[in-house]
């Protein structure tokens, strides 16, 4: 297949635009904003061009079919190449990243006033790293982007986060985020290197980080040494579970969200945690289907604990941002149910849910920034009675809270409905428990709306209400309208997205071995070593 230059351009455009933002910062403080916006708009247009090229509908094969590829030799002696590829799964994730990147630049337009160029360098480089994660199918390149995207986010939180005059809390949150994700990345690296070594010693005889080579090696490892395969699967799972985050590996998320600037929260909630779900779908399930099926009950139980734990912690919060951070932990429990139920319906529901959650959570964090800008607080106890002060803000806040809790007609409902419907046949008890949790989502959504918009103003905050508060301006309304229209599109006509991802999800479902077949796989592991290339 000829190299498609759109794929490296999707990564390079944010990197080049970010570097340009940093260079022109001293010339004019407003110039970096326009360069960043143009860079992310170009990235979004390139994604649309890639969508228009087609190639996302194909018949099942033993290995994934890519709609477009880019291949360039890099470190030949170690079998490392710059190998990028896109299918329906990665295309939709790249599209979400590009769209939310545009919104992140837009929402930080008035918020960021110091080191504007360096801020946009970090924002765009983190987005470029995320796009690299979604496109890389050489596992060394994937790991490179996986680790690279963490550094800019560390700076976003540590330098532009919200905290006291001493700055300790934002640096603490950034350091906590970095340590959690860095340790998880090193554990994931053990699993990747284990596969590479097994492939070099027992399968091809050559060092390779190529997706298809390691896919074949992982299947042979499961057939011959299922215990090792299970261990490597756990390493990869932990690497992705921290980023998702899965209970009890979630400790970094509330602090990171509470201290991050608005654009950083959009990056974290809308995009970054989706890379973990993508990693589970792209690597863990197809590489280790039997081990994943054995691990399914444990993973789903952890997900269910996370659903209720996140909802309960959301009830306890008085900080608007921390409340929304815990709702993310709660909603990500559905991701594990969808992945480990392992059929086309749950995978497709997961795709819609990731897109819808990205839009709704990003919009709510943007609204947190807008409320803070006007009230100078995120404390729900100091709010109340502001509904009559605004024309547009109350409508959008109620709309996006309704989307987050799964009101029919919007994208989140479609995603959750498909996941629950697809998982019921395989895990009926777990599915019923997960469905009950939706009641709690409605409750913390209503609490957020009531404490923010209704009731009477707090005595301590009355000085802010003496004159009419400034309503949303045109830029802020356009940003929220984009998210709202996306959620309505996902809720009314999800088929346009399901068609793109269907073939990719069908291949993943086909590669995932049901629980009842695990015994047969283990029995087949009795085949002779010489049959799988082990001397």
Looking at residue 526, its pLDDT comes to 43
Alpha carbons within 13 A on the beta-carbon side of 130: 34
- Say whether 244 sits in a helix, a strand or coil: coil
Looking at residue 264, its pLDDT comes to 85
Looking at residue 373, its pLDDT comes to 81
Looking at residue 414, its pLDDT comes to 92
Looking at residue 2, its pLDDT comes to 59
Looking at residue 67, its pLDDT comes to 86
Backbone φ and ψ of 25, nearest 5°: -55, -40
Conformation bin of residue 407: beta by default, left when phi > 0, alpha when psi is -120 to 50: beta
d(CA 142, CA 131): 10
Cβ atoms of 89 and 501 closer than 8 Å = yes
d(CA 371, CA 319): 12
- Say whether 418 sits in a helix, a strand or coil: helix
d(CA 227, CA 182): 26
Q: C-alpha 369: how far from its chain's center?
A: 21
How is residue 435 written in tokens?
């469905």
d(CA 158, CA 119): 11
d(CA 183, CA 55): 38
d(CA 345, CA 354): 14
Q: Provide the 10 A C-beta neighbour count for residue 374.
A: 17
Packed helices 150-160 and 116-135: angle between N→C axes, nearest 10 degrees: 150
CA distances from 470 to 230, 343, 393, 449 (A): 57, 49, 10, 19
The kind and range of the H/E element at 75 are strand 68-75
DSSP 269: I
Partnered with residue 491 across adjacent β-strands are: none
All residues at 6 or more sequence positions from 160 whose CB lies less than 8 Å from its CB, including other chains: 112, 114, 115, 119, 261, 264
- Give pTM, 2 decimals: 0.89
d(CA 206, CA 435): 48
> Which residues in the chain show pLDDT less than 70?
1-2, 163-168, 455, 457-468, 513-535
d(CA 98, CA 79): 30
Cβ atoms of 124 and 21 closer than 8 Å = yes
d(CA 398, CA 169): 30
Looking at residue 463, its pLDDT comes to 64
Least Cα distance to 504 among 60, 51, 53 occurs for 60
CA distances from 248 to 73, 180, 197, 304 (A): 40, 12, 31, 12
- Say whether 71 sits in a helix, a strand or coil: strand
DSSP 169: H
Alpha carbons within 13 A on the beta-carbon side of 183: 8
Looking at residue 518, its pLDDT comes to 45
d(CA 131, CA 271): 10
The dihedral sign for the CA sequence 499, 501, 506, 509: negative
């Amino acid at each position: 297949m000829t190299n498609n230059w759109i794929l490296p351009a999707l990564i390079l455009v944010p990197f080049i635009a970010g570097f340009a933002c940093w260079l022109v910062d001293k010339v004019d403080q407003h110039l970096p904003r326009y360069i960043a916006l143009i860079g992310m708009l170009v990235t979004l247009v390139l994604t649309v061009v890639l969508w228009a090229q087609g190639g996302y509908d194909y018949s099942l094969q033993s290995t994934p079919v890519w709609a477009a590829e880019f291949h360039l030799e890099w470190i030949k002696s170690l079998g490392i190449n710059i190998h990028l590829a896109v299918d329906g799964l990665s295309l939709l994730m790249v599209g979400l990243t590009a769209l939310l990147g545009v919104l992140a630049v837009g929402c930080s337009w008035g918020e960021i006033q110091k080191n504007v160029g360096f801020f946009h360098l970090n924002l765009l480089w983190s987005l470029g790293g995320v796009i690299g994660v979604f496109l890389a199918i050489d596992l060394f390149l994937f790991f490179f982007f996986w680790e690279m995207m963490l550094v800019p986010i560390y700076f976003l939180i540590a330098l532009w986060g919200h905290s006291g005059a001493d700055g300790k809390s934002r640096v603490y949150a950034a350091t906590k985020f970095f340590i959690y994700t860095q340790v998880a990345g090193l554990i994931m690296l053990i699993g990747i290197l284990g596969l590479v070594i097994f492939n070099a010693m027992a399968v091809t005889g050559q060092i390779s980080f190529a997706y298809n080579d390691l896919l074949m090696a992982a299947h042979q490892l499961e057939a011959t040494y299922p215990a090792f395969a299970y261990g490597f699967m756990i390493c990869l799972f932990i690497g992705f579970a921290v980023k998702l985050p899965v209970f009890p590996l979630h400790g970094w998320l509330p602090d990171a969200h509470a201290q991050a600037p608005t654009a950083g929260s959009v990056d974290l909630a809308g995009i970054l945690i989706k890379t973990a779900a993508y990693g589970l779908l792209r690597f863990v399930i197809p590489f280790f289907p039997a081990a994943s099926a054995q691990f399914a009950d444990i993973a789903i139980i952890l997900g269910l604990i996370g659903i209720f734990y996140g909802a309960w912690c959301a009830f306890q919060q008085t900080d608007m941002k921390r409340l929304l951070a815990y709702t993310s932990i709660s909603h990500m429990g559905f991701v594990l149910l969808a992945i480990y139920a392992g059929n086309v319906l749950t995978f497709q529901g997961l795709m819609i849910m990731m897109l819808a959650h990205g839009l709704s959570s990003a919009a709510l964090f943007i609204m947190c920034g807008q409320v803070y800008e006007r009230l100078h607080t995120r404390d729900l106890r100091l709010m109340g009675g502001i509904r009559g002060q605004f024309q547009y803000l109350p409508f959008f806040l109620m709309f996006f809270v309704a989307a987050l809790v799964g009101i029919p007609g919007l994208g989140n409902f479609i995603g959750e409905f498909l996941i629950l419907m697809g998982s019921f046949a395989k895990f009926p008890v777990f599915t019923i428990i997960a469905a009950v949790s939706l009641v709690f989502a409605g409750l913390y959504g209503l609490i957020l709306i009531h404490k923010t918009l209704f009731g009477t103003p707090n005595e301590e905050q009355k000085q802010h209400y003496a004159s009419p508060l400034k309503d949303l301006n045109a830029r802020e309304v356009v940003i929220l309208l984009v998210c709202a229209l996306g959620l309505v599109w996902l809720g009314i006509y999800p088929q346009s997205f399901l068609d793109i991802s269907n073939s990719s999800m069908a291949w993943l479902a086909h590669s995932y071995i049901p629980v009842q077949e695990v015994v047969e796989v283990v029995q087949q592991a009795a085949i002779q070593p010489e049959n799988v290339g082990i001397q």
